[in-house]
Structure formats: structure tokens, C-alpha cells
């Protein structure tokens, strides 16, 4: 399956090349081609002259034009470019044609696909949200739209059960702003509901694997290299513990083993009672509390085994606690990026109380 990349004239050739170079490093059934197509001024005047009128009608109910955000391309104008390429070159109808454009579009969407495998991705304004090169979010959006087409998310509307208006960290989260998109990219995930839909539509496993590799590649750039900008440090995300004891920070799930989750939940619950944190040496006083949480979370194991593990955790001779604490903290940092993570990790050095620093009003237990 070939994915042809086109660009509108103002999108820089250098960045166009960057996006292509990144995508083509991931081998699999999705083959990317960079097309250097000079659009004709006569045929496509809206690409060259501001405020020009075209015969393309804006999609009535969606056409909220806003002068203050500049010259806006209509969705139909953008898709006319991919249709033009498709018709001129007579490509296979199963192939995708992507238009990359810095120009804003009528509803200011970040990307969109149509019913004929045409896609556009808005390429500008990413700098304010991440220090990572915008080629990564752009590449993600290309692949996201290909997947959404293949899994038949025909309409990107609120009535589609696979579009999540409550963010879940899934590819199909409907993001209202680019900051939310960045968090989605950092999560690099497709939720179980959407994976079931992918299976239902019989999408080639190799495509799914390739897509996950690309998502991981994007995530590595955004999270592990910690290039999220300082501005992110000011964002205060709520910690939510669901009825099923899943831990979400913002919309990102922090996935921990039952024992680590026990520790984290214990510190979270304890913080609401005592905001000073707990010294490791005092942790042994809380064996019953720890055990009560662990029993709810552990999927298997006799009581004796669970007790042994909790005893080992609080035992000052063994060093289980500091090992588990540092693993929990690195998982949180990997998920959120270091800047944001610092208020959510278990802080405190070896002889200091361990505590989670986020303010209590941002902690929510959904039970």
C-alpha cells in the first residue's frame, strides 16, 4: 500500500524531506513516496493568492470562517489537490494521498481524511507545544489518519463510538488543541476497544505493527529525550484512580505491577491524611494498610505469599523499597516526560520522607 506525500507551496522543502526520511525508516506494508509536484497557479489560485474566491462551497454546517486566523483553505480545496494528483498519475485506488500544508483550514483541524483515501495534515504551529522537531507530530498524524481510514472510522463525528471525546491516550482521542495531541503522541497507544475494531476490520497485522513502531519512534523523540518545553511544567494534571484501580495522570495511564501500584496508591491515600510523607523506616507501621491495597490488586497468590512480599518491601535490610520506588518514578517520567513528572513521582532522598508533591485537590478517587 503506497502513501504519496504532497505539499502545498509554502511548506518548506526541507521539512517535507524530514518527514519523508523519518517515515521511510520504518519498514512494512506501508510504503511512503515523496512527490515533488508544482501546482499550477491557474488551476489552483487559492494556493497562491490570498482571499481568492473559488467555486468550492464550504461544507455549510462546518464552515465557520474566521478572518483573524488568516487565509483559510477549505477542506474541499485541499482535497482537490490530492484528487488532482490521483487523476493525473492514475495511482491505485487503494493508495493514500496526503497533502501537507502550513495553511489553516476551515475548522482549524489538525488533520482529516475523506472517503477516497485523501488526507491532509496541518503542519504549522507545533513549535509552541514541543521542542521536538514538528516532523514527528506530522508523521504521527499521517499514519493516524491512514489507520483511521482503514478501521473505517467513516465520520470523525461525536456519534462515532471509536472517537473518544474524553481523552484516553488512544490514537482515536479527539483532541481539541495541540497540547492534547502532544500528550496523545507521548502515550503512543491504541486502546483495547479500538484494537478490537482493527481486528474486526481485518487490517493486516504487519500494518498494525508498523504503525506501532512509528508511534513508538515518535514517542521516543517526544518523551524519552525529554525535549518537552518548560511551559509543560506549568500544566497541572489531575491524578485519577478509577474504580478498577487504574491510575491516570491527565489522560495517560500509569501502568504499574500490583506491588508497585500498591505502593503508589498507598502514598496517594496517605497524602490525603498526612501531607508530610513517610520515612522508609516507618513504613513497617503501615503493613496492614499496604496489605489491604495489595489484596485488591494482586491477581493471584495465596495470602501468605502476598504477606511475604509486603514484609520484604518494608524490610530495612532488603532494599526492595528503594528499587520499587525508583522503578515507579522512571515509569512516571517515561509516561509524562521529566518536566511534568516531577510533581507526581515519589520524591525524597534516602533519609527523607517519601511523598508525592502534587496538591491534594488534584487527587481524585473515583469510588
d(CA 114, CA 76): 10
Among 5, 23, 73, 170, binds Zn ion (CB under 5 A): 170
Q: Which three cell numbers stand for residue 126?
A: 507545533
Q: Dmax of the chain from CA atoms?
A: 80
| Binding range to Zn ion, per CB under 5 A, among 33-41, 42-50, 61-69, 186-194 | 186-194
Is 172 a binder of Zn ion (CB under 5 A)?
Answer: yes
Is 314 a binder of Zn ion (CB under 5 A)?
Answer: no
Is 262 a binder of Zn ion (CB under 5 A)?
Answer: no
DSSP annotation of 163 reads S
Region of 202 (left: φ > 0; alpha: ψ -120 to 50; beta: rest) is left
Residues ≥6 apart with Cβ < 8 Å to 29: 1, 204, 206, 207, 210
d(CA 124, CA 108): 11
User: Considering the complex, what minimum distance in angstroms separates the CB of residue 198 from Zn ion?
Assistant: 10
d(CA 77, CA 57): 9
Helical (H) or strand (E) element with 330: helix 320-336
Is 150 a binder of Zn ion (CB under 5 A)?
Answer: no
- For 217, phi then psi, to 5°, come to -60, -40
Q: Which is nearer to Zn ion, 166 or 177 (CB)?
A: 166
Is 198 a binder of Zn ion (CB under 5 A)?
Answer: no
d(CA 190, CA 170): 5
User: Considering the complex, what minimum distance in angstroms separates the CB of residue 172 from Zn ion?
Assistant: 4
User: Considering the complex, what minimum distance in angstroms separates the CB of residue 157 from Zn ion?
Assistant: 15
User: Considering the complex, what minimum distance in angstroms separates the CB of residue 162 from Zn ion?
Assistant: 6
What is the β-pairing status of strands 247-249 and 239-241? antiparallel
Through-space distance between the first and last CA atoms of the chain, rounded to whole angstroms: 47
- For 176, phi then psi, to 5°, come to -85, -25
Is 251 a binder of Zn ion (CB under 5 A)?
Answer: no
User: Considering the complex, what minimum distance in angstroms separates the CB of residue 78 from Zn ion?
Assistant: 26
| Binding range to Zn ion, per CB under 5 A, among 96-104, 116-124, 167-175, 223-231 | 167-175
Among 183, 185, 188, 191, binds Zn ion (CB under 5 A): 191
| Binding range to Zn ion, per CB under 5 A, among 37-45, 183-191, 201-209, 304-312 | 183-191
Q: Which is nearer to Zn ion, 35 or 163 (CB)?
A: 163
Is 194 a binder of Zn ion (CB under 5 A)?
Answer: yes
Q: Which is nearer to Zn ion, 131 or 156 (CB)?
A: 156
Is 187 a binder of Zn ion (CB under 5 A)?
Answer: no
Q: Which is nearer to Zn ion, 191 or 345 (CB)?
A: 191
Is 147 a binder of Zn ion (CB under 5 A)?
Answer: no
**How many angstroms separate the Cα of 110 from the Cα of each of 53, 87, 119?**
23, 25, 11
Is 139 a binder of Zn ion (CB under 5 A)?
Answer: no
What is the β-pairing status of strands 355-356 and 346-347? antiparallel
Q: Which is nearer to Zn ion, 185 or 194 (CB)?
A: 194
Q: Which is nearer to Zn ion, 250 or 277 (CB)?
A: 250
Q: Which is nearer to Zn ion, 251 or 262 (CB)?
A: 251
Q: Which residues bind Zn ion (CB under 5 A)?
A: 170, 172, 191, 194
Amino acid at each position: 500500500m503506497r502513501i504519496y506525500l504532497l505539499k502545498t507551496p509554502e511548506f518548506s522543502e526541507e521539512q517535507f524531506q524530514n518527514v519523508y526520511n523519518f517515515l521511510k525508516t520504518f519498514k512494512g506494508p506501508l510504503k511512503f513516496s515523496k512527490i515533488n509536484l508544482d501546482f499550477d497557479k491557474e488551476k489552483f489560485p487559492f494556493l497562491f493568492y490570498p482571499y481568492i474566491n473559488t467555486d468550492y462551497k464550504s461544507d455549510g454546517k462546518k464552515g465557520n470562517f474566521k478572518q483573524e486566523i488568516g487565509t483559510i483553505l477549505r477542506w474541499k480545496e485541499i482535497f482537490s489537490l490530492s484528487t488532482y494528483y490521483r487523476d493525473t498519475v492514475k495511482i491505485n485506488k487503494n493508495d493514500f494521498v496526503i497533502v501537507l500544508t502550513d495553511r489553516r483550514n476551515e475548522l482549524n483541524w489538525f488533520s482529516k481524511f475523506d472517503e477516497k483515501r485523501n488526507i491532509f495534515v496541518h503542519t504549522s504551529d507545533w513549535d509552541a507545544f514541543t521542542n521536538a522537531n514538528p516532523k514527528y507530530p506530522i508523521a504521527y498524524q499521517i499514519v493516524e489518519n491512514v489507520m483511521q481510514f482503514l478501521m473505517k472510522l467513516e465520520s470523525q463525528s461525536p456519534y462515532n463510538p471509536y472517537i473518544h471525546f474524553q481523552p484516553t491516550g488512544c490514537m482515536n482521542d479527539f483532541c481539541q488543541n495541540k497540547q492534547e495531541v502532544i500528550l496523545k503522541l507521548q502515550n503512543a497507544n491504541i486502546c483495547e476497544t479500538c484494537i478490537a475494531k482493527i481486528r474486526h476490520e481485518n487490517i493486516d497485522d504487519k500494518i498494525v505493527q508498523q504503525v506501532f513502531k512509528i508511534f513508538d519512534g515518535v514517542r521516543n523523540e517526544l518523551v524519552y529525550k525529554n525535549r518537552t518545553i518548560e511551559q509543560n511544567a506549568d500544566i497541572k494534571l489531575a491524578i485519577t484512580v478509577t474504580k478498577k484501580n487504574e491510575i491516570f495522570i491527565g489522560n495517560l495511564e500509569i501502568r504499574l505491577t500490583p506491588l508497585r501500584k500498591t505502593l503508589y496508591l498507598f502514598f496517594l491515600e496517605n497524602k490525603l491524611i498526612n501531607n508530610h510523607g513517610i520515612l522508609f523506616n516507618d513504613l513497617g507501621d503501615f503493613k496492614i494498610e499496604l496489605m489491604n491495597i495489595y489484596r485488591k490488586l494482586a491477581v493471584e497468590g495465596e495470602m501468605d505469599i502476598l504477606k511475604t512480599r509486603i514484609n520484604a518491601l518494608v524490610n530495612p535490610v532488603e532494599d526492595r523499597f528503594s528499587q520499587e520506588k525508583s522503578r515507579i518514578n522512571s515509569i512516571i517520567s517515561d509516561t509524562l516526560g521529566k518536566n511534568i513528572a516531577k510533581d507526581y513521582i515519589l520524591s525524597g532522598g534516602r533519609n527523607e520522607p517519601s511523598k508525592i508533591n502534587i496538591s491534594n485537590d488534584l487527587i481524585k478517587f473515583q469510588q
